[in-house]
Amino acid sequence: MGFRLQVGSVRISGLSTSGGQFIESVQLDDLVLQGVACTELPRALMMSLSRIEQRLAGLRAQFGGASAAHRRCPVARILALSQQQRRTVDELKQLAITEAKSSVSKRCRRLRRRP
């Protein structure tokens, strides 16, 4: 069982932290929060990677032919999405390694139990 919450934009004004810091405002655009059951994690990561790649392609297509001044606008968004893409790929690789180790361990235990 999982959940998905998608919001176009969230803006928080006048945020104070427990450490006494004050943040005038924070805005998050295209916010998506998603939770899945542990067994669905690989599929959820692949879907997330697909969405990231679609957003990157859209930004590159939208601003790729623009003038130098207009190309600078989405650079931070493209860099952030590219970083998120790398982290998602890394997490998928780590998950595959963990699952492979777990599979080998299970096979070894089964072999040890045989008479």
User: Could you tell me the CA-to-CA distances from 52 to 7, 30, 77 in Å, in that order?
Assistant: 16, 12, 11
**Tokens at 7, concatenated:** 């919001």
Q: Using one digit for the tens of pLDDT, what is the confidence trace for 62-114?
A: 776 656 655 666 777 888 888 989 999 998 888 888 888 777 677 777 777 76
Same domain, 31 and 42: no
Same domain, 5 and 48: no
Domain that holds residue 7: 1-35
Same domain, 29 and 59: no
The 3-class SS string of 35-80 reads: ECCHHHHHHHHHHHHHHHHHHHHHHHHHHHCCCHHHHCCCHHHHHH
3-state secondary structure at position 20: coil
- What pLDDT does residue 53 have? 92
Residue 12 has pLDDT above 70, yes or no: yes
List CB contacts of 2: < 8 A, sequence separation 6 or more: 34, 35, 36, 37, 40, 44
Same domain, 90 and 67: yes
- What pLDDT does residue 1 have? 58
Q: Using one digit for the tens of pLDDT, what is the confidence trace for 16-46?
A: 888 888 889 989 888 888 776 667 778 888 9
Count of domains forming the chain: 2
Residue 50 has pLDDT above 90, yes or no: yes
Same domain, 49 and 30: no
- Does the global pTM surpass 0.85? no
Same domain, 54 and 66: yes
Same domain, 43 and 27: no
